[in-house]
Structures are given as structure tokens and as C-alpha cells.
Amino acid sequence: MLMTARERLAREIKALAEKHGHARAALIPIVQEIKHKYRKVDDFAMQVIADQLGIHPVEVYSVVSFYAFLGSQASGKFIIRLCRTISCDMQGKERVMRQMENDLGIKFGETTSDGKFSLEWANCMGMCDQGPAMLVNEKIYTHVTPEKVHEILEECRRSFGVHATEQKEVYLV
Amino acid sequence: MSPLPTFSSMAPEAGLDRALALSRPDIIEEVKQSGLKGRGGAGFPTGMKWNFAAAAQADEKFIICNADEGEPGTFKDRVILQDHADLVFEGMTIAGKAVNAQEGIVFLRGEYTYLRPQLEAALAKRRKKGLLGKDILGSGLDFDIRIFMGAGAYICGEETALIEALEGFRGEPRNRPPFPVNTGFLGRPSVVNNVETLACAACIMQRGAAWWKAMGTEKSTGFKVFSISGDCGKPGVYEFPMGITVAQLLQEVAGVGAKAVQVGGASGLCIPASQFSRAIAFEDIPTGGSIIVFGQHRDMLDVLHNFLEFFVDESCGQCTPCRLGNGKLLEGVELLKEGKCSMAYLQELCALGDTMQIASKCGLGQSSPSAFLSVVKNFREELMGRTYSQV
Amino acid sequence: MSHTTILDTGSRAPKSQQSLSVPRSGSDEAIGGTVTASINGQDVKVPLGTTILAAAQKVGIRIPTLCHHPDLCVAGVCRVCVVEVEGQRTLQAACAFPITSPIKVLTHTQKVRQTRRHVIDLLLSEHYGECYACGRNNNCELQSLAKEYGVDFFRFGHPDKPKFEIDRSSYSVIRDNDKCVLCRRCVRTCIDLQEVGTIEVAGRSDKSYITTFKDKPLGEVVCINCGQCINRCPTGALRANDPTDEVWAAIDDPRKHVVIQTAPSPRAAIGECFGLPPGEPLTFELNTALRLCGFDRIFDTNFTADLTIIEEGTELILRLYKALVAKDPDIALPQFTSCSPGWVKYLEHFYAQYIPNLSSAKSPQQMFGAVIKTYYAEKHGIDPKDIVTVALMPCSAKKFECNRSEMDDSGFKDVDYGLTTRELAKMISEAGLELPKLPKSDFDAPFGTATGSGVIFGATGGVMEAALRTVIELVTGAKVENLFEKANIIPVRGFEGVKYVELPITQVGPVPDILKHLVPDWEWLKGATLKVAVAHGTANARKVMEDIKAGGKFSQCHFIEFMGCPGGCIGGGGQPIPTSPEIRSARAKAIYAEDAGYEVRKSHENPDVVTIYKEFLTDGPCGHKSHKLLHTRYVARGKYIE
């Protein structure tokens, strides 16, 4: 049977509400799963989530916009989050940033035109003794140097080739 | 190889075994006797917290493990969870028995998502071993633990903000009172303890309050796990007794000769070299374990700039002093850097910092000006060089 | 006869914004006992859990507030009300701190004063605009605070350009975030008090702001235009869409015949805009003022309120007849009132499947518009295209209502402009008039006679009372005074969120002439029990609707009055600012006092109403002509938006 993307999304959210419950406490876990899978929580998804939890869509929007990981506009297959807090800052995050922008041809807060990479800042990610640190999706990289940037990006590109558009859903399911 | 020798030396589940054999009041008494204070930074006596929650009347209670470690310069909870997760879960189970809670929730920060698989595996293993679930080790205790992922908000380290997030709201701290031990998650009594606190509680159950009290100072008992970073030879996680002086600590981490040390993260105090003989303990310089070493070449205004940018980004924004005050302090630092800040305005900003400390709704806004105020106080000459009076 | 009240079943507001479980006020014998606190050295005995703010009020000590509002749950976010509590390292928010032990409080130490000044300075550093270019000049809580705390310069700067675009997309409510102080009263109003959920806080930290779903224009999202947010906004960040310039232009245009109708609630409240205490109606002074402003005719909305009762009452009788006698399964019962445009839109969004239950009768405002541009125009030989109809309403949703595309049954836009109480007060001031000092004068014919029934439409339960007065008399043939002393149907009055009343019909009379073409007799009603309910504020409406959905006792009702605003129209979004339970109660008292003073107190006895059915609506209530002019249809809007 043919199903529109919306119908499929609505069905998926309903299933998530069954799994996490229809109480408001299920809001963040549901949003996290949708965000993880689709890289965004669009207007329609927010309204279905609100409906499932018996709250208003604007409340979903309010919560999503509060949390850095939920409200993020980054839509790349690989979301690179570089730590900008003190210890990583003192260990040279500025140079890593510049190299990253040079190699990808985008600025922080942007996504490459092929949709593969997004660059974002992150606040302290708890790798202060091994900085500069960064997360690529959920994977952590430490002691990042400008020279290592290229290597890390290549690693992403390679895994991208193998897994095509498939996202590994090991952590959130 | 874990850098935490005491945690490593613990016999698995010995603390839990003992707790299961003890009565609730006896467990709480043991923790009270130890003098253990919260390891997240605020230093609230753990035994007292458990006691409040135990005394609260409710059908349902919760033990919440605060693994939303986000204070700049802090990463010890990550190491504890990586190397000693079982000790943390053991501590949660003991707390569950102590306050009669049925459910434990680990609030794991989103940045540590990569830890989740191994934590889930550890939980599954515990369930299999009968250390979680119904009738734990035949003791009649029912207790299980689930993991809730944070979504990127420093403020959720504040216990009531954390609970708001668990309930599906913006992580905005609540008015206190009421306190979570009475009205916590879903309005039920909830104990929110730091990762390290729970691990320490498990150790205390195993070795006894006297063992713990033998370490540290009178008012700050036991050892503390420190996260050391910045300009030092050996950054990383360390276990030191409470009361260690800054100078001793620098010796251990190859940071001798530092210009200043930030104790307690961005929200902590900036200690100049002249005060390195001070002790790190609740009665002197309190800390959640974050130590950032600044070498002689560091510009303290750059440091402040970084801290304040952090707070401007991470304030939840609900109360006026914190929402707008941090921005004003940041602007002030920028003016100082450009040499455009008048003395009068600097004094005004310090007064604003004082206001934030007493008028903000939660610990974030109450502590975010600390670094600014201590840098202005301790490094005045460094800032003054760039300040000209123009009133 | 019996009546019950539904208790509050808890709030959906964020926990952080809910009041504590201990009652806010109440008798000293409250459960849990009392506690004595010392405030500035003065001892005060209060129920356990009373806030410092309330305790201070009790001994006449005023603590300044900004985010606190008597209608709303605790927020504790602005930090203006901070006080020193002995033994506490930090200052405490008086509005949020419950007294549970004998504490010592100091309310204006140097520390406290400096803190408050800093908070005000910080707010002003983000508050764009100048006071003299603001609609809330002289009625702004931020301005008052700045004055009280002696702000004479901008300590932390002042913005020189706006950060936000003003949202003018709604017919009713204009949002100007540059004047917002993030007290979140509007959010608590919209989500908690009204449970509409149009606005929330988005973003974090100094980038947080009040917004709609996905920052869409207010006119495009689910908003019922009730304007309750406006009434509670301490600054000019929320205001009504003000058409006074257009109204003045119409007055100034000699070709235009400008007619204004005034509703009872604004008349009971407009004095507040001129410094009078709440509860002093200026109905007849207002007529003089309007004439002096240049309006050509001044009519009393009560006339169409009475007409509404006839039409809506007849519709109810018809529904009951078809359902009970003809056993028509398609008849929707209970019938819901439709005079509150906020409620109507609420239902269209959230309970669209119940649209058939809404009375098809237009609201009094819209009936008046239609009657003026037809009957009145005809009778007085005025071309309806030259008539401009203005409605003075306590309501911001009326602005939306008059712009609904269905509302043109006269062949023209039935009502051209809806004015709020505040806007008309401004026009009167502009005309240099001191309203309270003006002589009294009457309404104009032919709609000058009103009844007490029309007046009480303004308070929650009023429409029901008016309807009952008429229905009881038409059906039983007996005087309502015989059943209820002085025709005051007390059980439907008062501010309880939901009221439920049962009225057994023990006797029936002859069918009056006006209804003879519709029902042959009343025998089918004999022995029946009429079940009615009254709900005000959409949060209460929601409770009733959920009960109906679940097949609860309200689904067995025959007629339910719903008002969108807390307290009914007297608490409308167009009323003078501020609002509080006490203010609304004073306004309601004024309205019931006015009702008691009327010679004619029942809609069906209004001679002008009798005349219009004789002269114009000749096929009677719910007849063909009244259906065309006085009834309307609704739109199933739903909750989802694109």
C-alpha cells in the first residue's frame, strides 16, 4: 500500500508514543528518536507529537528550541561538534576550527551543500584533559589537531560510502 | 587501568550485600556518620538528603543519578561511568533501599551518548545476576534502573532543572522550596545524587563510615575525584583526599609555576598563585572536582571571556539576573579587553555580579559571576593596565 | 433543584510554574495550621504555606512584583520581589517562598533595594522604545517600577534599535517582543489559565523570547483571540489591534452615518480608565460622551442580547422538541451558547466535531450589525452602504468575529469595527472629555429599551439566567419570580469554574403566540428535568467538553453556557488593565445591580423586541428571515496548521 511520507511519520510517532508512553515525560525521548532518524523535527512531526502527548505544538517547539541537540538546525549526515570551552580553547580549538572550515568550505553553523557535514560548536563535552575534543555524531575524537582533521573527515566519507544513507541506530533504539 | 585506586579496590557488590542486610535507618545512619557530602559541587550532606526522602510519605520514590556532568573542566563522572559503572549502580540500589524507592534513573548527558551501550550492557548484566529487578538477591528489594538521555543543556545539572527535563519540560530550575526530596520527579520524593556521590556511598557501605572519615578533613570527609586540565604536565582524573592544598595538587599534576588555578569550573573561583596554600575543601575552596590550571602566559580576560560566553549560552533564561546579567559581564570583559571600560563601570559590574549571586533563581546564576569577581579581585593590576578612567 | 461545582482537577502547566500544593490563601484554620512570621519586625499569623508576598500584604507591606499575577500560578522569574530571609544566603522571591516555619523577613534593606534596582536596570537595557510612544504609557508596570526605584539613567544601556518585527497578523492581538520583559504571564495565561496553548517561550538564555508555534504569525496559528494575555501583560508587548483611527475617520466623514452599540461590560468597567474604582457603571454618562465624540446614534447591545435570547431559546426549544418528540437522532444536544467569539473559535479548533451543538444564533454584536444595516436602514431611509457600525465590546475576539467572512448577511460587513473598552476610553480622552463628570443621557430609539436580562450577559452565568427567565415563563406560563425570588436565578451566578443546575419542569402552560407556529403544546416537557451548565474560561470549557466526550454528566445536559474569558465578558480581553478576581467580582456586582434596577428584566418582554418581530422578522423566531440575518455557520478549523 502506498503511504505518504507524512502518514509514515505519523505512524512512527504513534509507535514511539506507545513505546515511551503518552505522558509528557515521553516528550524528550520521542523527539530524540525522531531527530536521530530524520536529523530534524519538522512542523508536522511536532504537531503529531503534541497530539499524542496531549500537549500543544508550541510546547513541543518550546522544549525542542531549549536543548542544544534538539533545536540544532544542523542537518548533515555527520554533525561535527567541536568543543569551544576553556580547556579545549587553551589547547588550540581555534586552529582546528579554521582547518575544518577550510576543508569543508563551510562556516560553523552551516551544512555542506551535499548534505554530508554540518559544523557546530559545543560547550564542554567532558574531554578537557584530551582536548581539543569533538563529537562526530555520537563518536568522540580527542587530541584533535589541524592535521588530523582531514583524516577524520576522510573516515566519515568512507563510512558514508559503505553505509550509503543508512544511519546506525545503535544508541537510541 | 583506572586512575581511581580506591574505586578499583572495591570488592564487587560487597556494599550492596551489607546494605541489604541492614535496616533502612541503619544505612542512612552509616552514610550520615561518614559525613559524605554531595560530590557535584554543592556539598549537601548525602545522609541528610536520603533521610529527608526516606521520611517523605509516598507510594513511589525515585533515585536519580545526575550524570549531566557539564561544568567546564569536569570529566570525572565520565571516567567513573566508564570504569566503575557497577559501583554507581550499586550505590543507586543502596540508596533505593535506604529511601524505599523502586526506580532509579540515570540522567546521562547527551554528549556522553557513546557511553550508553556499555551502561545498558552493564545494567542488563546486573539484572541477569539478580542485582536489579524484583527481589534483589532474595532480599525482597525491588529496584531497577533506566537511562534517560539529556539533550544538550548545562543547566540540567541543576537538580530541579534535571527533573523538569525528565518530565518533558524545558530544563528550567524550579522554585525551592519545595525540594526534590519531597516533591521531585512527577511530584514524588526524589533523591538526586551525583555519579561520584553514589559510587562513594557504595564504598562507604562496604568499608564503613570510620574508614571514610579517616580521610579528608573534619568538615570535608573522604577523598574526592578531581578532573585536572589546562596548563599542566599530567592532566586527567585523580583521587586526592579532601583538604589537599592547591600547591600540593599542582605538584601532583606537574603544574607547578602556574599563574592561577580555577577551582570548581567556570562557576568556581579563580585562585591566584599567592593563595595556592589554600585547601580544597567545602570549608575553604569548594569544588565539584574541576581544576583548570592557567600558565603564566594566559590572559585572564581571555579566560573570563570564554567562561562568560559559556554562561550566556547556557543560562536557561528564565530569571532576569542570570539571563541578562551574564551578557552584561561579558560585554564588560570585552570593554576591558579593548581598554574601554571605565573604573566606575567596572565597579558597577562588580555590584551587578554581587546581585546575581544573591538574586538569581538557581545555582547557575548565583555562581556564574564568581570567576569574574575573583579575577577582578585577584588580577586587578592585569586588568587595570587596560582600564582608563573616563567618567 | 440541585447544583454542584466541579473542582479544579489540576493544571497542565509546567511544574515549575504551578503553585505549591498548599493553598495560596484561605482561612486561618486551613489544614496544616498556622505559622507566625515576622516581616520588618511585624508579626503576622498566616496559614502554613502562605507566600511571603501574601503575608506581607496582610500587614499592609507592599512588595513590588512583576511576573507575579493574582490569576496565575507561581513563576518566581523576574526577581523583583526578592526579600531577605534570615538565615538564607541568597535573597528569596517573596511570590514563590512558602512560609512553613517562623521566619524573619526584611523587605527593603539596602541589599534588597540595590538588587531590585539592578533587575529593573537589566530589564530596561533590553526594553526597546520610549514610554511616551507606547500604548501603555502611564499604565505600565515596568514604568512604575522604574519610577519607584528612581531610575534616572540607563545603567546598563538601552537598545537603540528593535530586535523583533511587530506581529500584526492577527485581527485581535498585536505582539511586540521588543517591549517584552519575559515575565511569562502571557504564557501562563495562555497555557495554564486558558489552556489554549498559543504562545510559549522559545530558545534559551538571553536569546529566549515569547513566540508562537514555529514563530508563525499569530493570525495563522491556533489562537482564540481572547486577549487574556493582553490583560495580564505588564508592558506594551501585547496589545489589541486598535481601529480608533478608522473610527475617527468615519466620524469625520460627513457622508457616513456612524452608529455605535455599547455592551454592558465595558460600561461597568470604563470608569477604571478614568480613575474610578472597579464596579461603578457609567452607562448613561457614556451615551453623552459618545454623542460629544460625534457618533450619530448610540444603541444598547442589550437589545440584541434580548433578541439572542429569543432566537437561541427558540432554537433550544426546537432542538428539544425534535429530539424528544420527533426522536430525530441527528439533533445535537446539549446546545452550546455561541455569543463568545473566543469560545466559538476554541470549539472550532479543539472540538470541531461538536460544531452542530453550537447555537446557530449570532452573537448580540453581530445581530446588531445585521439589524442596523437592514431593519434600521430601511426604517430610517439610510443607504446601508453609508452606515458604519461600531461595537463597543469588552473583548478582543470581537474584532476577529466582525471580520469573519460569514458575517455579511446584511449584504455588507455587518459590524465594521470592534472597539475595546480601553480604546474607547482613549477616544473619549482624545475628545477632551472627563467621562465620570458628564451628565447622563439615554440611548437612541428604536433600540433604546433594554432589559435586565441583556445586562447580565456580561457575567458568567448571565446568558443562562436570561435564557432561563424567558424559557421558564414561555413554557410554564408562570412568573419566574414565583420560582426564584426577584427573578434572580442565584445557582447559575458566581465565579465557580463550572456550574451545573437541574430544573424540574412540574407544570406547563399554553404555548405563547410567538412560538405557536413551532410547537403545538408543552405537554412533552411536563415532568422533564431541564439540565443546564455554565462554564467560563476555556480551561473550564475544556473540562466540560472532555466530560461530554467521555459521555459524562454534562453530555446529558440540554443547554450549556460557555464563555471564553474567566468571569465572562466583564473579564474580557478588551477590558481595562489590570484584572484580578477582585476587580472582576466588583464589575460583576455592578452588572447585577444594574439588572436589579431595570423595570423589564426578561428578554421576551422587551417592547422593542416585540416590535421587531411584528414589523420586520415577521415569520417569527428562527423563521426564514431571522435565519438569514440573525443566524450563522461555523468553520471546522482543527488543531493542525500547515
User: Would you state the pLDDT for residue B387?
Assistant: 55
- B/e letters for C451-488, b = 16+ CB within 10 Å, e = fewer, are bbbbbbbbbbbbbbbbbbbbbbbbbbeeebeebbeebb
Find, among B30, B46, B374, the residue nearest to B191 by Cα. Answer: B46
B320: distance to nearest CA of chain C, Å? Answer: 5
Average pLDDT over residues C146-158: 95
Domain interval for residue B124: 5-209
Q: Give tens-digit pLDDT for C238-268.
A: 999 999 999 999 999 999 999 999 999 999 9
Q: Would you say residue B309 lies in a domain?
A: yes
Q: Would you say residue B391 lies in a domain?
A: no
Q: Tell me if residue C195 is catalytic.
A: no
A28 vs B111, B151, B306: nearest CB: B151
Q: Would you say residue B389 lies in a domain?
A: no
The catalytic residue among C84, C285, C315, C465 is: C315
CA distances from A74 to A70, A107, A116 (A): 10, 12, 10
Q: Would you say residue B228 lies in a domain?
A: yes
Does B118 share its domain with B37? yes
> Contact, B36 vs B224, CB < 8 A?
no
Average pLDDT over residues C596-615: 93
Q: Tell me if residue C582 is catalytic.
A: no
The C-alpha atoms of residue A99 and residue A108 are separated, in whole angstroms, by 11
* Chain B interface disruption, residue of C206, C211, C235, most B CBs within 10 A: C206
Q: Could you say which of A14, A40, A71 is where a domain stops?
A: A71
Q: Could you say which of B152, B179, B209 is where a domain stops?
A: B209
* Chain A, nearest residue to C207 by Cα: A66
Which CATH number do you get for residue A55? 1.10.10
Average pLDDT over residues C620-625: 94
Q: Give tens-digit pLDDT for C494-526.
A: 999 999 999 999 999 999 998 998 999 999 999
C122 vs B160, B318, B324: nearest CB: B324
The total number of structural domains in chain B stands at: 3
Model confidence band, residue C15 (pLDDT cutoffs 50, 70, 90): very low
Model confidence band, residue C2 (pLDDT cutoffs 50, 70, 90): very low
Contacts of A56 in chain C (CB under 8 A): 191, 196-198, 200, 213, 222
Tracing cell 557535584 back to the chain, one arrives at B40
Q: Give tens-digit pLDDT for A62-107.
A: 999 999 999 988 889 999 999 999 999 999 999 999 999 999 999 9
**From the centroid of its chain, how far is CA A35?**
7
Q: Give tens-digit pLDDT for B343-361.
A: 999 999 999 999 999 999 9
Does A92 share its domain with A156? yes
Mark yes or no for CB contact A43/C204 under 8 Å. Answer: no
User: Would you state the pLDDT for residue B41?
Assistant: 87
CATH 3.30.70.20 fits C122-240, yes or no: yes
Q: Would you say residue A83 lies in a domain?
A: yes
Q: Is pLDDT above 70 for B103?
A: yes
State the cell numbers at C124: 530596561
Mark yes or no for CB contact A47/C203 under 8 Å. Answer: no
The catalytic residue among C311, C569, C585, C622 is: C569
Q: Would you say residue B214 lies in a domain?
A: no
The C-alpha atoms of residue C266 and residue C282 are separated, in whole angstroms, by 9
Contacts of B16-22 spanning 24+ positions with Cβ under 8 A: B16/B90, B16/B93, B16/B94, B16/B131, B16/B136, B16/B137, B16/B202, B16/B205, B17/B137, B18/B205, B18/B206, B19/B93, B19/B94, B19/B97, B19/B98, B19/B205, B20/B97, B20/B136, B20/B137, B20/B139, B20/B141
Q: Is pLDDT above 50 for A171?
A: no
Q: Could you say which of B182, B209, B236 is where a domain stops?
A: B209
Does B270 share its domain with B288? yes
Contacts of A61 in chain C (CB under 8 A): 200, 202, 211, 213-214
C195: distance to nearest CA of chain B, Å? Answer: 16
A3: distance to nearest CA of chain B, Å? Answer: 30
* Chain A, nearest residue to C210 by Cα: A62
| Whole-complex ipTM | 0.95
Q: Give tens-digit pLDDT for C64-117.
A: 999 999 999 999 999 999 999 999 999 999 999 999 999 999 999 999 999 999
The catalytic residue among C359, C360, C453, C603 is: C359
Q: Would you say residue B62 lies in a domain?
A: yes
Mark yes or no for CB contact B358/C77 under 8 Å. Answer: no
Does B229 share its domain with B375? no
Q: Give tens-digit pLDDT for B242-279.
A: 999 999 999 999 999 999 999 999 999 999 999 999 99
Q: Could you say which of B251, B272, B294 is where a domain stops?
A: B294
A129 vs B117, B229, B231: nearest CB: B229
Q: Is pLDDT above 70 for C613?
A: yes
Q: Is pLDDT above 50 for A173?
A: no
Model confidence band, residue A2 (pLDDT cutoffs 50, 70, 90): low
Model confidence band, residue C199 (pLDDT cutoffs 50, 70, 90): very high
Does B58 share its domain with B141? yes
Average pLDDT over residues C192-218: 97
Does B105 share its domain with B231? no
Contacts of A34 in chain B (CB under 8 A): none
* Chain B, nearest residue to C19 by Cα: B175
Find, among B17, B39, B6, B47, the residue nearest to B205 by Cα. Answer: B17
B170 vs A29, A66, A123: nearest CB: A66
A154: distance to nearest CA of chain C, Å? Answer: 34
The total number of structural domains in chain A stands at: 2
Model confidence band, residue B390 (pLDDT cutoffs 50, 70, 90): very low
B361 vs C20, C76, C182: nearest CB: C76
Average pLDDT over residues C271-294: 97
What is the Cα Rg of chain A in Å? 18
C203 touches chain A (CB under 8 A): yes
Contacts of C182 in chain A (CB under 8 A): none
Helix axes C364-371 and C302-324, enclosed angle (nearest 10):
110
State the cell numbers at A66: 531549549
Domain interval for residue A44: 5-71
User: Would you state the pLDDT for residue A159?
Assistant: 82
Q: Would you say residue A36 lies in a domain?
A: yes
User: Would you state the pLDDT for residue C26?
Assistant: 43
Q: Give tens-digit pLDDT for C302-345.
A: 999 999 999 999 999 999 999 999 999 999 999 999 999 999 99
* pLDDT, averaged across chain B: 95
C47 upstream amide cis, omega within 30 of 0: no
C446 upstream amide cis, omega within 30 of 0: yes
The catalytic residue among C141, C311, C401, C496 is: C401
User: Would you state the pLDDT for residue C9?
Assistant: 36
Arch. (CATH architecture) of C8-108? Roll (3.10)
Q: Could you say which of A71, A92, A122 is where a domain stops?
A: A71
User: Would you state the pLDDT for residue B391?
Assistant: 37
Which CATH number do you get for residue B244? 3.10.20.600
Q: Is pLDDT above 50 for C362?
A: yes
Q: Give tens-digit pLDDT for B156-169.
A: 999 999 999 999 99
User: Would you state the pLDDT for residue C23?
Assistant: 36
A59 vs C197, C203, C221: nearest CB: C197
* pLDDT, averaged across chain C: 93
Neighbouring chains to C with at least 3 Cβ pairs closer than 8 Å: A, B
Q: Give tens-digit pLDDT for B212-244.
A: 999 999 999 999 999 999 999 999 999 999 999
Mark yes or no for CB contact A63/B169 under 8 Å. Answer: yes
Q: Percent of chain B scored above 70 by pLDDT?
A: 98
State the cell numbers at B316: 536557561
The C-alpha atoms of residue B161 and residue B365 are separated, in whole angstroms, by 13
Q: Is pLDDT above 70 for C424?
A: yes
Q: Give tens-digit pLDDT for C398-413.
A: 999 999 999 999 999 9
Q: Is pLDDT above 60 for C215?
A: yes
A126: distance to nearest CA of chain C, Å? Answer: 22
Model confidence band, residue C642 (pLDDT cutoffs 50, 70, 90): confident
A111: distance to nearest CA of chain B, Å? Answer: 20
Question: What residue segments make up the domains of chain C, in order of their start?
Answer: 8-108, 122-240, 242-637
Contacts of C203 in chain A (CB under 8 A): 65-66, 71
Amino acid at C372: I
User: Would you state the pLDDT for residue C249?
Assistant: 98
User: Would you state the pLDDT for residue A160?
Assistant: 67
Q: Is pLDDT above 50 for C27?
A: no
Model confidence band, residue A165 (pLDDT cutoffs 50, 70, 90): very low
Q: Is the dihedral of CA B285, B290, B294, B300 positive or negative?
A: negative
User: Would you state the pLDDT for residue C185?
Assistant: 97
* Chain C, nearest residue to B319 by Cα: C77
Q: Give tens-digit pLDDT for C114-139.
A: 999 999 999 999 999 999 999 999 99
- Count of helix runs (H) and strand runs (E) in chain B: 16, 9
Does A105 share its domain with A56? no
Does B179 share its domain with B54? yes
Contacts of A51 in chain C (CB under 8 A): 639
Q: Give tens-digit pLDDT for C522-565.
A: 999 999 999 999 999 999 999 999 999 999 999 999 999 999 99
Tracing cell 428578554 back to the chain, one arrives at C603
- B/e letters for B201-217, b = 16+ CB within 10 Å, e = fewer, are bbbbbbbbbeebbebbb
Q: Is pLDDT above 80 for C22?
A: no
Does B89 share its domain with B28? yes
Q: Could you say which of A40, A71, A102 is where a domain stops?
A: A71
Contacts of B109 in chain A (CB under 8 A): 126
Helix axes A43-53 and A57-66, enclosed angle (nearest 10):
110
Q: Is pLDDT above 50 for C6?
A: no
Q: What is the DSSP letter of C190?
A: I
Q: Which of residues 40-99 of A touch B (CB under 8 A)?
A: 53, 62-63, 66-70, 72, 84-87, 89-90
Does A47 share its domain with A123? no
Q: Tell me if residue C339 is catalytic.
A: yes
A44: distance to nearest CA of chain B, Å? Answer: 19
Does B252 share its domain with B363? no
A69 vs B151, B230, B237: nearest CB: B151
Q: Is pLDDT above 80 for C29?
A: no
* Chain B, nearest residue to C155 by Cα: B348
Q: Would you say residue A173 lies in a domain?
A: no
CATH 3.40.50.1780 fits C242-637, yes or no: yes
User: Would you state the pLDDT for residue C527?
Assistant: 92
Size of interface A-C (CB pairs under 8 A): 52
Contacts of A53 in chain B (CB under 8 A): 168
User: Would you state the pLDDT for residue B385?
Assistant: 63
Model confidence band, residue C446 (pLDDT cutoffs 50, 70, 90): confident
User: Would you state the pLDDT for residue B165?
Assistant: 98
Stretch (H or E) spanning A103: helix A93-104
C206 touches chain A (CB under 8 A): no
Does B27 share its domain with B65? yes
C204 vs A46, A47, A66: nearest CB: A66
User: Would you state the pLDDT for residue B159?
Assistant: 97
**In degrees rounded to 5, what are phi and psi of residue C38?**
-110, 120
Helices (H), C294-410: 302-324, 341-350, 364-371, 377-380, 397-402
State the cell numbers at C536: 467560563
B27: distance to nearest CA of chain A, Å? Answer: 31
User: Would you state the pLDDT for residue A3?
Assistant: 76
User: Would you state the pLDDT for residue A161?
Assistant: 60
* Beta-carbon contacts of residue A19 (< 8 Å; ≥ 6 apart): none
C84 burial via Cβ count (<10 Å: 0-12, 13-18, 19+): buried
Q: Is pLDDT above 70 for C28?
A: no
Q: Tell me if residue C401 is catalytic.
A: yes
Q: Would you say residue B390 lies in a domain?
A: no
Does A66 share its domain with A82? no
